[in-house]
A and B are shown apart, each in its own frame.
Chain A
Amino acid sequence: MEKQWFTISVYSENNVGLLNRISGIFLKRHINIESLNVSKSEIDEVSKFTIVVLTTEKWVHNIVGQIEKQIEVIKAFYHTDEETIYQESALFKIESALLFDERQIQNIIKESNSQIVTVAREFFVLAKSGRRHEIDEMHDLLKPFGIMQFVRSGRISVTKSEMQITALLEEFQHN
């Protein structure tokens, strides 16, 4: 089976130990977590883990089964890139002088659809959301001018199809 990108979405109760449990499942199988994001979800007091992996469908299926089995996990899904709307965010910290000295920088900002988050005497900060390759491209363009700091977030994604967590939760409660 071919390796491909999968986004695993895990809905869970808020629990301190769960991240450890989940990461252990990947560790045991030598599957690298490409990106991980933990946030609240559309449901009160339910957290959402968004995990990106490059692996085969057989493995992602197996892993999702193991994740879902954890007591605090309400439901876990996996999706291919085509089935999701997804983004990452990045911050670039750049020397302020460049904003005035290098005309090219202003073009990059405009064309990349990024926002200036703050401007200080010494530095300014650019924020860019988008696909990984868009962020990478912007990074490559800015690099020759000098990037003071760079950071990119994990992928966040929503699925095109419905995720019936609320219905599931109700069903759980009736059981």
Chain B
Amino acid sequence: METVHVKQKKIEKDTIMKITGAEAIIHCLLAEDVELVYGYPGGAIMPVYDEFYKFQDKLTHILTRHEQGATHAAQGYARVSGRVGVAIATSGPGATNLVTGLADAQIDSTPMVCLTGQVPRHLLGSDAFQETDIIGISTPVTKWNYQITKASEIPEVMAKAFYIAKSGRPGPVLIDITKNAQFEEFEFSYKKCKGVRSYKPVPKPNMETLEKAAELINNAKKPFIVWGQGVILGEAEEELISVVEKAGIPAAWTIMGESAIPTSHPLNVGMVGMHGNYGPNMLTNECDVLIAIGMRFDDRVTGKLDEYAQQAKVIHFEIDPAEINKNVTADVPVLGNSKETLGLLLPLLKNNTHEGWRDEFRKKYEIEFETVIKNDIHPTKDKLTMGEVIEEINLASKNKAVIVTDVGQHQMIACRYAKFEQSKSNITSGGLGTMGFALPAAIGAKQGAMDREVVAIIGDGGYQMTIQELGVIFQHQIPVKIVVLNNDHLGMVRQWQELFFDKRYASTVMVNPDFVKIAEGYHIESKRVSERKDLKSTIQEMIASDKPYFLEVKVEKEDNVFPMIPSGAAVSDIRLK
């Protein structure tokens, strides 16, 4: 690529100089240590793109092939690195294409800043070309949003945007910038935001409630921990492990919390929720103290609410006061950052082992292993299963890969069977269930953790929702491994049709293209595996490659994911088949 030499005005902290709004935006991004932004240009954001051009040696802009891809890439980057992901788009259709990613980041608490161009201030409200009320549209799906109409607002608003996105319970922020503000010159100086008067990101822990929590836990016969992403976002993994080990408490995770504790940890008893493990779901309704940590009792986790852990005292560790008593009433709410609250809890806990209680999880696991797991990961039938593919990836990557999943059966299977040793390794669209998430998110995940193996597990349906991002992988040679588990169906919907709609497969049979050829069209090394004998070696080859790699695995078309809590049923009504 041609390099450009632009005379660069030296900028030091707090020094004053006159620059355009567009250039100011770059300096704000640099001041926030942003190295990478994902986006797509257009009329209303062109002044900023002109600055990207000038600053390309300091700030990398990745042109995704759709703005939705930019948001998911930013999310993948944020989730794996713990930093704020940045996506940028033009006004109108560019801005509306961000909405799915914003909603996804909002419900999964992902720190992201989205910047959109907007028509010049004097045209606002005139239905100008590519004018859309993105502030109005994005309000319900952002933690905060703001429209800048004067260049002088840029530094303060940008600083606030990064602060709000990252602090407390993280979330997406959208900043809409009118074109005149990008052109205007003003005296720039930047100060990082340290606080917003009306916003209290982290509640102070209360020792009294912590003591109550400790007392309940110390007296419990059958304590059970369910942790969520709050542990990962709060970087409280070590504190959680210490609590779990000291008090000998079996601990299960929600899909968003996976990988916070290594899969192999003896007290990690698996996943809760609709397709979670048998033991954790069944025993939710037998424990005497339920300790929820950084999770929000989503309906996919709780099943029928009035039959959820009714027998148990509930302790809820949570950073967001609005989550307390929202779905499940907490006997002891413990507000605060999980790292801090778990750290304070630890010395109050007595050593314990709860051997008998832990045995119950083991027994349930054996039942699940015999009826479900064995057939999923060591199948005896001819056709390949999704489970055995995941198992081979575990083996080839030595459980060290970041697994990025899309939405559907393959997602549930991947989350059930992928093994992790390191936190921030399971990247999935949990709350929104956004098909099309995985491919762009894998790009972001790889760029956020270049030293790690990143494997995307995607269904044949969802793959085609953002397949164009292969262009990014090819152009920048981003060495992600893409595995499409092709069952020629919108499998998860087909499963529901089989179980609850008398097998009327309305619009769930996929007529698919030649995925290998498509990847080849992007000059990405590609393979298809249809038989078991080729699976292991191909996956080994894929993991060994230091380039992008596409693998399509033809799997059984009509497999179902079990166990399953039918929607509306109680967790203890979980079905094994």
Residues of chain A whose beta carbon lies under 8 Å from any beta carbon of chain B: 12-13, 17, 20-21, 24, 28, 58, 61-62, 65-66, 68-69, 71-74, 169, 172-173, 175
Q: Within the assembled complex, what's the spacing in Å between the Cα atoms of A171 and B139?
A: 28
Residues of B within 8 A of A (CB): 135-136, 139-140, 143-147, 164, 195-200, 320-326
Residues A68 and B136 in contact, CB atoms below 8 Å apart = no
A173 to B323, CA, bound (A): 25
Q: Which residues of A contact B147 (CB under 8 A)?
A: 17
Task: Kindly report which residue of chain B lies nearest to residue A13, judged by CB atoms.
Answer: B198
**A20/B139 contact (C-beta < 8 A), A65-B326, A68-B321 known:** yes
Q: B285 → chain A, closest Cβ, in Å? A: 23
SS class of chain A's interface: helix, strand, loop or mixed?
helix
Q: Is A65 a contact partner of B322 (Cβ separation < 8 A)? A: yes
In angstroms, Cα B199 to Cα A173, docked, is 10
Q: How far is the CA of A12 from the CA of B195 in the complex (A)?
A: 16
**Inter-subunit contact A71/B321 (CB<8 Å):** no
- Least distance between A85 CB and chain B CB atoms (Å): 26
A37 vs B147: C-alpha distance when bound (angstroms): 25
Asked if A173 contacts B197 (CB within 8 A), the reply is yes
Cβ contact within 8 Å between B321 and A17: no
How many Å lie between the Cα of A68 and that of B195 in the bound state? 16
Q: Is the beta-carbon distance between A74 and B197 smaller than 8 angstroms?
A: yes
A71–B196 CB distance below 8 A: yes
Closest Cβ of chain B to A55, distance in Å, is 15
Given A20-B139, A28-B140, A65-B326, are A13 and B146 neighbors across the interface (CB < 8 Å)? no
**B111 to A: closest C-beta gap in Å:** 14
CB-CB < 8 A to A17: which residues of B? 135, 139, 145-147
Contact across chains for A68 and B322 when beta carbons are under 8 A apart: yes
CB-CB < 8 A to A66: which residues of B?
Answer: 322
- CB of B322, distance to nearest CB on chain A (Å): 3
Chain B contacts for A175, CB-based, 8 A: 195, 200
* Interfacial chain A residues near B326, Cβ < 8 Å: 62, 65
A-B pairs, 9 with minimum CB distance = A65-B322, A74-B198, A71-B144, A71-B199, A69-B322, A172-B197, A24-B140, A13-B198, A66-B322
CB closest chain-A residue, reference B321 = A65
Minimum distance in angstroms from A2 CB to a CB of chain B: 18
| Additional pairs, 20, CB under 8 Å, beyond known A17-B135, A21-B139 | A17-B146, A20-B139, A21-B140, A28-B140, A61-B325, A62-B322, A65-B323, A65-B324, A66-B322, A68-B321, A68-B322, A71-B143, A71-B196, A71-B199, A73-B198, A172-B195, A172-B200, A173-B197, A175-B195, A175-B200
